[in-house]
A and B are shown apart, each in its own frame.
Chain A
Amino acid sequence: MRKTTGQVDTDIFAAIAHPVRRQILDTLLQGDMTVTALSAPFDVSRSAISQHLGILMDSGLVSMEKRGREHYYQLRPDNLNEIARWIGQYEHFWQQKLDALGDYLDEMAAQDEQEKS
């Protein structure tokens, strides 16, 4: 049911790109819920909510547990760490490049000096 972390792909971005799905995730922050309870605040059909839940489960952000006759949905926030790591990579990338540029400029200057002397 649950994907392991590190398997993050565009699914997870697609999953949270939809406002209804973000609202579902926000609602699940309060605790595990059935699809009926989750549908209540929305002006969309239960089957639409089920479809959104399916996408959220595929992304690994939500899992489902059967308790008696009811299916309860629960939040799996671990995968968000993966998104965070991805975004972090951008910042890390630029910081690293700017460091490298500094070193390179120093080298250029040293070479210019050598050529002069």
Chain B
Amino acid sequence: MKRDLKFERFYPHPPERVWKALTDPDALAAWYMTNDFKPEVGHKFTFHTDPGPGFDGTLNCEVILVDAPHELIYSFIGGFMKRKTTVRWLLIAQEGGTLLRLEHTGFTGLTDAAVSFIIGSGWGRFLAQLPPLLDRLAQAEITES
């Protein structure tokens, strides 16, 4: 069962620049979220973003790993995430830029139940009514299994 969110993007910029964008509080505030981040293991901080349904816009985080300019990991909890999830940024130097891999993992409990339930086989007939995302999730399930 696929329960993690994984993304990959290539940016035509060196890892050092991407690293700065990911770890400098002012840079983070510009493109990501307002924050009191410090690239120090064990540092507890918050991200603030727009509130949404069931979400006050605050994410409580703690730095888990800092390996400049390769890897950054912090925990992430807020909204309907009932337990800590993990956000991992992996910077892979490539010809002419950086491949950035983002993994948002650790969804357990209710959220998992929701995801697995919706895309479970018994509910396949309702997929047509669901947003395109779920179709894609379901497709990913099929291709992965």
Instruction: List chain B positions with a Cβ less than 8 A from chain A.
Output: 5, 7, 9, 11, 13, 17-18, 20-22, 27, 30-32, 52-54, 80, 82, 100, 102, 104, 109-111, 113-115, 117-118, 122-123, 125-126, 129-131, 133-134, 137
Question: Which residues of chain A are near B7, meaning CB under 8 Å?
Answer: 94-95, 98
Among B54, B82, B104, B123, contact of A80 (Cβ-Cβ < 8 Å): B123
Contacting residues, chain A, for B133 (C-beta < 8 A):
84, 87-88, 91
A22, A26, A100: the one contacting B32 at CB < 8 Å is A100
Q: Count of A-B contacts with CB under 8 A?
A: 106
20 A-B residue contacts at CB 8 Å?
A: A8-B54, A10-B80, A10-B110, A13-B110, A13-B111, A13-B113, A14-B110, A17-B113, A25-B122, A26-B122, A80-B130, A81-B131, A87-B133, A88-B133, A91-B5, A98-B7, A98-B102, A100-B31, A105-B11, A105-B18
Q: Evaluate contact between A13 and B31: CB separation under 8 angstroms.
A: no
Interface residues in A, total, Cβ within 8 A: 38
